[in-house]
Amino acid sequence: MGNFCGRPLETLPLSTNPGEEVIRTVTSIRDSFILIKSLGSGSFGNVFLVKDKRTGLERAAKELTKSNINERIAPEVYNELMVMKGLDHPGVLRLYEILETSTRVYIITEYLSGGQLFERLSRSPKVSEKLAAKYIFDLILALSLCHKNGLIHRDIKPENLLFENDAPDAHLKMIDFCLSRLGIINEGSDQKAQVGSVNYMAPERFSGECTEKSDIWSVGVILHVVLLGKVPFQGKTDAETIRRIIERPLVTTGKSWDTTSEEARSLIESMLNKNPSYRPSAQEILMHPWFYLYTKNTINENALHVESLTNLTKFHAKSKLEKSLFTFISSNISSKKDECKLGELFVKFDRNGDGTLSSAEINDGYDFIGTPPPPPVQDLLKKIGNTGMTIHYKDFLLHIQNWNKKVQFQELENSFKTYDKGGDGKLSLDELRAAIPGIEGSEWNSLLNEADLNGDGMITLDELKDYILTKMK
């Protein structure tokens, strides 16, 4: 793709302060950082926990593959990232620098270890309007600053709201600002991020419009989930959810609403106005009566209605399980494609052409393409160590596949445990199919049909465990 910004580096504003380097060209990220572990992967690539060799401080490194980036929009995103780097606010993820190799771009940010908003709320002994207002107030403060500087997030959802650490007073921060604009272009590469994302998208997004008011809608949905325990326009499929977002009025009746304050109800209704022109700005929201009560410490401190708390716990458990299932099933659907890519890498790394790889060849190969070895390869390198052993392609492939399967099984088990505590024991097959692109026509579609023993369109947790965690081993 050439340079990340699509034009020569010397023509770009490479710093926000005189003498400060913002983007650096390196051979490999390992020139400057020690790779500690993988933090996961998403639509934009892998995320690693790394240690800065210069300072010894831990950072997060988001890896973007250049060939996957929408080249047309990249320069604009770069400029937005530069604006973001100049922002200093406790609610905005701190961006330190950008590294560029021949094939990759790494966005180096602070490392957030405190987990997601809904995860913390589901563990909280008491959830009240006061606690909800604390988190949403901080979120709106950060959003107001970003909007004043011309930045639109475009993808506010639970996965992009993380706490800086586990402390009770930890700041809630927004991550992945601007990156949704990069528009990953490889087929299927952005599917994981789309699981559940449509629930947080404003009506105008489906006609191609996106403004600051679209962010306001997304935060309104977040607030609705926190106070009511469910998204406001959930359908059985994404298509039905979109129709409801565009057409269906907001429902503000029911047991959970009965114990929600008029001020909170008023704010949610204004933020979820179908017409973006009538939605309040972030600055206007800060002056809303609900936040006035919060800043005066007179807001309702009573626990939310038990139905809201139950719904919130179920919502978090169900979302976590669906995402784990999606990761597991979709990775099996695409395993043949991944196998071809691994084969191409093996040939490139095998410098002497003897059909085997040494640890040196593996390390040098990943350095050449400018990216750290993925976790299963790191695990393999530890096993090889300095023994002088080499590994054949079949063993190389088998180790990676077994490692990935082991990790996916563990993630599924953890999700099952969460769902056992917070779920209702059943999942809709229609919802699962809608959440997993590529499943139609695959063996997994037949598997889910077989697992539905009584043919009611629902699959129980025990049935799912039996079919996936036993028969697929």
Sequence ranges of the binding site for ATP? 62
The four Cα atoms 208, 210, 215, 218 give a dihedral, to 10 degrees, of: -10
Q: Please, what is the angle between helix 375-384 and helix 359-369, to 10°? A: 150
Question: What distance in Å separates the CA atoms of residue 161 and residue 169, rounded to the nearest whole number?
Answer: 15
Question: What distance in Å separates the CA atoms of residue 93 and residue 107, rounded to the nearest whole number?
Answer: 12
The Cβ of residue 395 has, within 10 Å, a number of other Cβ atoms equal to: 13
> What is the b/e burial string over 83-103, where b = at least 16 CB atoms within 10 angstroms of the residue's CB?
bbbebebebbbbbebbbbbee
Please state the residue numbers annotated as binding site.
Answer: 62
The active-site residue out of 52, 138, 155, 354 is 155
C-alpha count within 13 angstroms, C-beta hemisphere, residue 204 = 19
Annotated active-site residue 350? The verdict is no
Q: Which residues on neighbouring strands pair with residue 105, listed in sequence order?
A: 64, 100
> What is the b/e burial string over 249-281, where b = at least 16 CB atoms within 10 angstroms of the residue's CB?
eeebeeebbebbbebbeebbebbbbbebeebbb
Q: What residues contact residue 319 under an 8 Å CB cut-off, 6+ apart?
A: 118, 158, 196
Q: Which residues on neighbouring strands pair with residue 114, listed in sequence order?
A: none
Q: What residues act catalytically?
A: 155
